[in-house]
Amino acid sequence: MARFELKLPKMGESVAEATITNWLKEVGDKIEADEAVLEIATDKVDSEVPSEVSGILVEQLFGKDDLVQVGQTIAIIETEGGDAPTAIVNNAEETAAPAEAVDPETSGEKTIDAVKETVTTSQDFSGSDKFFSPLVKNIAKEEGISLNELENMSGSGKDGRVTKEDILKYIEDRKTGTVQAPKQVEETTKTVEETPKVTVETPKAVEPVVQKSQQAVPVSVNGGDEIVEMDRMRKLISGYMVASVQTSAHVQSFIEVDVTNIVKWRDKVKAAFEKREGEKLTFTPIMMEAVAKALKDFPGMNISVDGDYIIKKKNINLGMAAALPNGNLIVPVIKNADQLNLVGMAKAVNDLGNRAKAGKLKPDDTQGGTYTVTNVGTFGSVFGTPIINQPQVGILALGAIRKVPAVIETPEGDFIGIRQKMFLSHSYDHRVVDGALGGSFVKRVAEYLEAFDVDRDF
């Protein structure tokens, strides 16, 4: 029998860690090659980790909600035959080791660790009005940092948000005595140090923290309402949206576009397109093509903001907001969108959209966006005022295409006719984008759409 180390795979150049959200297999379960063993989550994407071999799961080295670094061993799988890999972590051997004799001089330290562990496992940051990233919260839990400490910690991120570097520096300073832990933690430590026994009761100073996490979820009085906790992704989206509104000075420009020629052309070629390319031709890639052209004309919209600095992006990477089956939202990115023809754009749109619905996106699929487009018309909305996807400076909402009466100008005079029209809603960051640029950009998108060549090939 050989023992195989299942490691957290590399999920993209920009992703260094992930949180375990669920174990799909338990110790003792049989696993087939390529079968999913557990589910993980980054700040953007949920995904599964499959096994590279067939065998029996004999050890889980991390639990649910644990933060794991890329390359770390997360489980041990026992396989048939072969040589066991070197450097395998074996928890069974550790637990089988003989118990150490109790040293009265170190018993106080052990009980302090035990109490800290109790505080850490029952720590709950959901009651805070501040936004903390999953990484920061996981570090806080592992280091026994209370909600009070976290809320009073000075952050160097946007709007004073606590970053990974901030909390790691705080931990280092606390160890060297540069900063003091909150009174509650100090009293806990003092109580434990005065107790020479190995087993102690939980000090009263810890009780408020423990009780807070054990409080029952509020129940409806009349029985007609239902209280449901947000899932992990909805909590992340909530934090991102609030942070964006607090960061950017949102302003909107709207323009109505006549897309009659596009509708007629698509109706004429969509069957042939699907037959030749094996892909459905929707309106989205046509709109994306126009947006990419406009971004080349107005590079001032293809930027991001970092503090007092403006970063001009070399590549045009279009984010495409997509609704998931559970109602949540995700934004996969079409890389180098300006270099794609209509066929390439359609394939990219369909591929990302299908994988988003199936939960098969990779972390890199959602990274590196420079501008975002969202299609609110899918749900019948005429127009909308979307929130900017930070740290970008603009987002375009595509409204529903409708048949409307319109004035048609001809050399012989004006007359009323039925045209296919839609609204484009452009939200942009007024800190760095003025109305002239924001309005000119969306007007250029409209001009490209209205000048669509009905005789073009696909």
| In contact, 404 and 266? CB cutoff 8 Å | no
Q: Reply yes or no: is the peptide bond before residue 391 cis, omega within 30 of 0.
A: yes
What is residue 60's three-state secondary structure?
Answer: strand
User: What CA–CA distance (Å, rounded) separates 277 from 126?
Assistant: 48
User: What CA–CA distance (Å, rounded) separates 214 from 204?
Assistant: 16
How does DSSP classify residue 384? -
Residue with tokens 């562990």: 117
Alpha-helical regions (H) of 278-392: 284-297, 342-357
User: What CA–CA distance (Å, rounded) separates 365 from 319?
Assistant: 10
Tokens of 180: 């003091």
Residue 67, judged by CB atoms within 10 A of its CB (0-12, 13-18, 19+), counts as middle
- Residue among 113, 159, 173, 434 flagged as catalytic: 434
Pairing, β 250-258 against β 413-429: antiparallel
Is 434 in the active site? Answer: yes
Is 308 in the active site? Answer: no
- Residue among 306, 430, 455, 457 flagged as catalytic: 430
Number of Cβ within a 10 Å radius of residue 407: 9
- DSSP codes of every residue in 411-453: TTEEEEEEEEEEEEEEEEETTT--HHHHHHHHHHHHHHHHT--
The closest of 267, 243, 234 to 401, measured between CA atoms, is 267
| In contact, 337 and 288? CB cutoff 8 Å | yes
CA 73 centroid distance within chain:
24
Tokens of 369: 């966006």
Residue type, 430: H
User: What CA–CA distance (Å, rounded) separates 135 from 133?
Assistant: 5
Torsion of CA 363, 365, 368, 370, to 10 degrees: -140
Where in the sequence numbering do the catalytic residues fall? Answer: 430, 434
